[in-house]
Amino acid sequence: MGTTDESKSKVQVVALLESAYQTSIQGFASVIGYDDGQSYHTKPEELVEATSALDDRECQGLETEVKKQIQQLDAEIAKMQADRDGLAHILNEINNEREMERQRQAALEAARIAEQKRRAEAEAEAERAKRRRIEKERKETERSDRGKYIDFNLHESDYVQQNFGKTVTSMAMGGTATVMLYEDGDWMYTAGLPKLLHNKLKGRAKHHPSPVYVAVGSQDRYYIKFSNGKSEWVGCDDLTEELNSSSSSKVKSVAFGEEWDSYFVVYTDGGYAYQSVPSELVKLIKKRIKADLSCVSLGPDGEYYVGAEDGRAWWGGMHADNLSIAGKVKDRIKFMDFGDDDSFFFGYSLFRCACEYLLQSRVSFPATMIGTSSTAQWLGRLSAVPVWQRGSTSAGKMVARSAWNKERQFKS
């Protein structure tokens, strides 16, 4: 039933009640009443007196009329009750529909929030994966830049070979000693390390700032920098004055030469300072006239190595045999250092360009990208060659040298 029907029912009931009232009044009007000019009214006290004066016949007639009107009212009431029940049912249906709609909207909102949360979590995970990928690529770039492979002619070579790996962040020689620092803050060194440096490393607790860079020279000279930015060294007064003139965070490399007062410092902005270095090195530096150096190494017998930010490198003052060894991978050498008795080592990468990234990522690429199908097959075999890890045996060096020899054969 609509709203209009409901209103009509209410009007009919009100009209019926008014009609019953008027009928009752008019029924008693003949007994006694008064006229106010608009309608006829029976005074209550007079109505009682008049009613008591009626005879039985008149009372029966009045009783019959009252019962009749009561029956009519009961019928109207029953009809109104039925109408009310119907309207109540409709109202209940409306409320049920409203509740179902509320629940549906609540479910939609919950689903929207859940989807929003899922997307946020997915985006957060994607961002974390991106950061992990970027960090991995950054580490791989750093490892490649410093050289993930080494060759050497040095004291305790087997021990050095067993402990070298791609996680070595800094490696240095001085006298007969070799020292290596690792990404996890650990370190390794051989006999002959300067006493003060040996004590600094051996007695260092794990919770102390870890060493991040080290350089060693003859005559017990050394320079070491820690993760908190602090550094310590032993060297000539001029070197101390130079290092004290700038923050240690700006120092990129330090080298100690043949004499006590011989040194070369390279800064993070490519600038440098040096004293009493080989004349050939001075000529090279003055000829280039560029502040783009990445590192410089000096040896005890006039050896030197210079690396630039663009990947180019120069070296000299070395024994002919060592020059021959370095010449095999000359365009891929990343770092070099020198010790006593013509000992030296150098770090290098297998490739000069993005080929190494393709191999490390094991990306499928057509032979046309690198030349011939035989080249692609050879690179595929080379990708299976493991990088030397700490704790590896001499077989690791044999495998690496085997890969090196294959490369030389291919280039020839």
Categorize the per-residue pLDDT at 282 as very low, low, confident or very high, splitting at 50, 70 and 90. very high
Q: Which pLDDT does position 399 carry in this prediction?
A: 33
Amino acid type, 283: K
pTM of the model: 0.60
Domain span including residue 411: 352-412
Q: How many domains does the chain have?
A: 3
pLDDT for position 210: 93
Of 358 and 404, which is predicted with more confidence?
358
User: Average pLDDT in the 5-24 region?
Assistant: 52
Q: Do 265 and 365 have their domain in common?
A: no
- Residue 155 included in any domain: yes
pLDDT-wise least confident of 130-139, 199-208, 305-314? 199-208
Range of weakest confidence among 62-71, 213-222, 237-246, 263-272 = 62-71
Q: Sorting pLDDT into bands at 50, 70 and 90, what band is 381?
A: very low
* Residue range 271-298: mean pLDDT, rounded: 92
| pLDDT of 108 over the 90 cut | yes
Is pLDDT above 70 for 55? no
Model confidence at 253: pLDDT above 90? yes
Is the model's pLDDT at 72 over the cut of 70? yes
Residue 396 domain-assigned (yes or no):
yes
At 27, the pLDDT band (50, 70, 90 cuts) reads low
Give residue 45's pLDDT band: very low, low, confident or very high (50, 70, 90). low
379, part of any domain: yes
Does residue 139 fall inside a structural domain?
Answer: no
Do 345 and 356 lie in one domain? The reply is: no
Same domain for 300 and 193: yes
- 376 shares a domain with 343: no
Segment of 68-72, 124-128, 156-160, 161-165 carrying the highest mean pLDDT: 124-128
**Residue carrying the six token digits 């057509």:** 366
Question: 256 and 368 share a domain?
Answer: no
Which residue among 349, 378, 394 closes a domain? Answer: 349
More confident residue, 373 or 181: 181
- Nearest C-alpha neighbor of 165 from the set 150, 186, 152: 150
Whether 268 and 252 have beta carbons less than 8 Å apart is answered as yes
* Least confident piece of the model among 22-26, 200-204, 334-338: 22-26
Instruction: Report whether pLDDT(355) > 80.
Output: no
Please, what is the average pLDDT of the chain? 78
Residues 93 and 213 in one domain: no
| pLDDT at position 126 over 60 | yes
Are 331 and 210 in a shared domain?
Answer: yes
Q: What pLDDT, on the 0 to 100 scale, is given for residue 349?
A: 84
Q: Please, which residues have CB within 8 angstroms of residue 108's CB and are 6 or more apart in sequence?
A: none
Q: Which pLDDT score, from 0 to 100, does residue 12 have?
A: 53
pLDDT tens, 152-188? 888 888 889 899 988 999 999 999 999 999 999 999 9
Mean local confidence (pLDDT), 270-282: 94
